[in-house]
Chain A
Amino acid sequence: MASLSLSSVRKNYGALPVIKGVDLSIEHGEFVVFVGPSGCGKSTLLRMIAGLEEITSGKLLIGSKLCNDMEPRDRGIAMVFQSYALYPHLSVYDNVGFGLKLAKTPKDVRDRKIREAARVLKMEHLLDRKPGQLSGGQRQRVAIGRAIVRQPEVFLFDEPLSNLDAALRVDMRMEIAKLHKELGATMIYVTHDQVEAMTLADKIVVLDGGVVQQVGAPIELYQRPANLFVAGFIGSPKMNFTPVRVDAVNGNRVAVSGEDVINLTVEADPSNVSPGDTMTLGVRPHDLAPNQAGSIVARVGLVERLGNETIVSLELVSGTNWLVVLDGDRPLARGETLALGADPAKAILFDAAGKSVTRRS
Chain B
Amino acid sequence: MISKRVFPWLDERLGLTTIYKTTLDRMVPKVNWWFTLGSATLFLFVMQLVTGIMLSVYYVPSPDKAYDSIEYIMTGVAFGWLIRGIHHWGATLMVITVFIHMLRVFFYAAYKYPREITWTTGVFLLLATLGMGFTGYLLPWNQKAYWATTVGTSIAGSVPGIGDFILRALRGGSDLSAVTLARFFSAHIWMLPAVIIALIGVHLYLVIRLGISSVPKEND
* A joins B in a complex: no
Q: Which residues of B contact A (CB under 8 A)?
A: none
Q: Which residues of A contact B (CB under 8 A)?
A: none
